[in-house]
């Protein structure tokens, strides 16, 4: 097993997780449960392919993908913040809605129930191993950027206050609802970029192409104890497990079924070891009165 090949493949696999987990950290630190990451990623992937298909520009596709994630994020925000619906139930509903909507529009726009035609994307230089994709570098930088926002900007302080002490935040003039709306919007756009990366890297959209990556990202948020850097480390760990799975598939020493289980078993073990000790934001999942 070539170590350099392993690391480069691991980083490429980690990028969607890094985008989604960073978005999840922002929303959850503001007090909103982010089970919706899978739906945000899926909607972003489809919107990116749709925009790229009709314009021929992957950058327009990126913009469309961000807007797609933002639309679903606003549905989530209105339901949970304005109408104070149960955040877990809404999260499940958003994910199911994204599956249904993308499948419907896939059939409507591309006359297929499985995949879109190939579209323009980023990269393509075999020697670059995917590192000529600008979204990859943005994904690498997203966790440090979110960390800086959290701990070195007034808005980051407001997000943390909204998730830990919303009553105290309101008492000093901070609109907790406004902060949460913005946090959920940022979460949707960042998670959507994870889907955009997937779609434009593969040059097409396939039905349910995110394949549970949003759920692994929320696992990384919990495993990372709601800290952007720790969550990024968890993303790299899960990506390393997935890379190991891929590189072991050619081996006949281990049954393929056990190899395919590696990322999911690691996720379960990681969460079982930390979830009992991890302390979530105090107001997480609690609707503001």
In this prediction, the residues of the chain whose per-residue pLDDT falls under 50 are: none
* 206 SS3 class: strand
280 within a domain of the structure (yes/no): no
Give the pLDDT of residue 253. Answer: 62
What is the domain-level CATH number for residue 88? 1.10.3470.10
Contact 288, 166 (CB under 8 A): yes
The torsion angles phi and psi of 206, rounded to 5 degrees, stand at -120, 150
Radius of gyration of the chain (CA): 19
Give the model's pLDDT for residue 218: 93
> In the prediction, which pLDDT does 241 show?
87
Asked whether residue 237 is domain-assigned, the answer is yes
**Rounded to whole angstroms, how far apart are CA atoms 249 and 196?**
27
217 in any annotated domain: yes
- Quote the domain boundaries for residue 244: 3-274
* Residue 222 placed within a domain: yes
Q: Is residue 279 part of a domain?
A: no
Q: Which residue has the tokens 């000529």?
A: 132
pLDDT of 132 reads 86
Buried b vs exposed e over 76-90: b needs ≥16 C-beta within 10 Å? bbebbbeeeeebeeb
* Polymer length in residues for the chain: 289
* 285 in a structural domain: no
Tell me how crowded residue 30 is: count the other CB atoms within 10 A of its CB. Answer: 29
Would you state the pLDDT for residue 204? 94
Based on the structure, what is the number of domains in the chain? Answer: 1
Q: Do 224 and 21 contact (CB within 8 A), yes or no?
A: yes
Q: Is residue 26 part of a domain?
A: yes
Q: What does the alpha-carbon distance between residue 147 and residue 30 come to, in Å, rounded to a whole number?
A: 14
Establish if 266 belongs to a structural domain.
yes
């Amino acid at each position: 097993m070539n170590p350099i090949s392993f690391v480069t493949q691991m980083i490429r696999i980690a990028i969607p997780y890094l985008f989604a987990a960073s978005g999840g950290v922002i929303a959850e630190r503001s007090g909103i449960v982010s089970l919706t990451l899978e739906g945000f990623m899926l909607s972003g992937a489809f919107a990116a392919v749709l925009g790229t298909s009709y314009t021929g520009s992957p950058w327009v596709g990126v913009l469309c993908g961000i807007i797609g994630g933002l639309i679903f994020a606003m549905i989530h925000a209105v339901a949970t913040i304005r109408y104070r619906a149960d955040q877990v139930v809404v999260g499940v509903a958003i994910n199911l809605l994204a599956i249904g909507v993308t499948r419907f529009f896939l059939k409507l726009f591309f006359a297929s129930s499985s995949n879109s035609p190939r579209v323009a994307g980023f990269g393509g230089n075999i020697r670059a191993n995917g590192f000529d994709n600008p979204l990859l570098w943005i994904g690498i930088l997203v966790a440090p950027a979110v960390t800086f926002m959290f701990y070195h900007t007034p808005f980051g302080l407001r997000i943390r206050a909204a998730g830990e002490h919303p009553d105290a935040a309101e008492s000093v003039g901070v609109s907790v609802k406004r902060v949460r709306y913005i946090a959920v919007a940022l979460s949707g756009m960042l998670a959507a970029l994870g889907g955009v990366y997937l779609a434009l890297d593969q040059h097409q959209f396939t039905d349910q192409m995110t394949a549970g990556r949003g759920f692994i990202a929320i696992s990384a948020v919990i495993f990372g104890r709601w800290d952007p850097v720790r969550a990024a480390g968890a993303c790299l760990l899960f990506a390393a497990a997935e890379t190991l799975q891929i590189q072991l598939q050619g081996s006949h020493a281990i049954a393929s079924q056990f190899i395919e289980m590696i990322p999911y078993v690691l996720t379960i073990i990681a969460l079982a070891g930390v979830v009992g000790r991890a302390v979530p934001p105090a107001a997480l999942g609690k609707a503001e009165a």
